[in-house]
Chain A
Amino acid sequence: MSLRAYVITRIFLTIPMILILLTLVFLVMRVLPGNPVIAMVGMKASPKYIKQLEHQLGLDKPLWLQYVDYLVDLMRGDFGRSMIWGKRIVIQEIMDHFPATLELTIGGFLVSVLLGLLTGMIAGIRSGGKLDASMRIYSIVVYSLFIPLLGMMLQLVFGVWLRALPVGGRIDPGLEPPTVTGLYIVDSILAMRLDSLLSALAHLALPSFTLGLVLSGIYTRLVRSSLMEVLGQDFIRACRARGLSGRIILFRHALKNALIPILTMMGLQFALLLAGAVLTETTFSWPGMGTFLVERITYRDFTTIQGSIVFYALFVALISLVVDIVYAYVDPRIRY
Chain B
Amino acid sequence: MLLEVEDLHVHYYTKRGVVKAVEGVSFNLDRSEVMGIVGESGSGKSTLGLAIMNLVPSPGKIVKGSVKLDGKDLTKMSEKELKEIRGKEIAMVFQDPMTSLDPLMRIGDHIVEAIMAHEKISKEEAKKRALELLDEVGISKDRFNDYPHQLSGGMRQRVMIAMAVSLNPKLIIADEPTTALDVIVQDQIMDLFSRLRKEFGIAIILISHDLALELEVADKIAVMYASWLMELSNASDIAREPLHPYTKELLKAIPNVELEDQELLSIPGSPPDLHEPPPGCRFNPRCLNKMPICEEKEPPAKIVSGRFVKCWLYGR
Contacts and interface: CB of A to CB of B under 8 A. Distances in A.
Contacts of A331: 103-104
B112 to A, nearest CB: 12
A194 interface: no
Contacts of B101: 235, 238
A87 interface: no
A241 B86 contact: yes
Interface residues of A, number: 24
Interface of A: 233-235, 237-246, 248, 252-253, 256-257, 260, 330-333, 336
Interface string B73-111: 000000100111111100110101001111111000000
Interface in B115-135: 117-118
B219 interface: no
Contacts of A246: 79
Nearest to B147: A332
Given A237-B55, A237-B94, A253-B105, A242 B163 contact: yes
A242 B160 CA distance: 10
A245 B55 CA distance: 14
A238 B94 contact: yes
A111 B86 CA distance: 39
Contacts of A330: 104
Contacts of A239: 102
B104 A242 contact: no
A243 B83 contact: yes
Given A234-B94, A235-B100, 4 more contacts: A233-B99, A242-B87, A242-B117, A333-B147
Contacts of A256: 104
Contacts, number: 77
A243 B88 contact: yes
B22 interface: no
Contact of A235 (B92, B99, B113, B149): B99
Contacts of A245: 83, 117
B88 to A, nearest CB: 6
A241 B117 contact: no
B136 to A, nearest CB: 18
B55 A235 contact: no
Contact of B91 (A234, A242, A260): A242
Contacts of A237: 55, 57, 94
Nearest to B146: A332
B86 A240 contact: yes
B117 A257 contact: no
B311 interface: no
Nearest to A246: B79
A231 B238 CA distance: 40
Given A237-B57, A248-B117, A336-B150, A243 B84 contact: yes
Contacts of A243: 82-88, 117-118
B49 to A, nearest CB: 10
Contacts of B86: 240-243
Nearest to A259: B104
Interface residues on B, range: 20 to 34
Contacts of B117: 242-245, 248
B53 interface: yes
Nearest to B89: A243
B57 A241 contact: no
A233 B85 CA distance: 22
Contacts of A233: 99
A336 B147 CA distance: 10
Nearest to A260: B104
Contacts of A241: 53, 55, 86-87, 91-92, 94
A330 B100 CA distance: 19
A244 to B, nearest CB: 5
20 contacts: A234-B96, A234-B99, A235-B99, A235-B102, A237-B55, A241-B91, A242-B92, A242-B114, A242-B163, A243-B82, A244-B117, A245-B117, A246-B79, A248-B113, A253-B102, A257-B102, A331-B103, A332-B104, A332-B147, A332-B149
Per CB-CB distance, the 8 closest pairs between chain A and chain B, nearest first, are: A243-B87, A243-B86, A242-B87, A241-B92, A234-B99, A332-B147, A238-B100, A243-B83
Contact of B103 (A242, A248, A252, A257): A257
Given A237-B55, A240-B55, A241-B55, A333 B149 contact: yes
Interface string B137-161: 0000000000101100000000010
B43 to A, nearest CB: 20
Contacts of B103: 235, 257, 331-333
Contacts of B102: 235, 239, 253, 257
B83 A238 contact: no
A277 to B, nearest CB: 33
Q: Which of B84, B94, B102 has the most CB of A within 10 A?
A: B102
A248 B117 CA distance: 10
A41 to B, nearest CB: 61
A212 B96 CA distance: 41
Contacts of B83: 243-245
A249 to B, nearest CB: 10
A256 B94 CA distance: 22
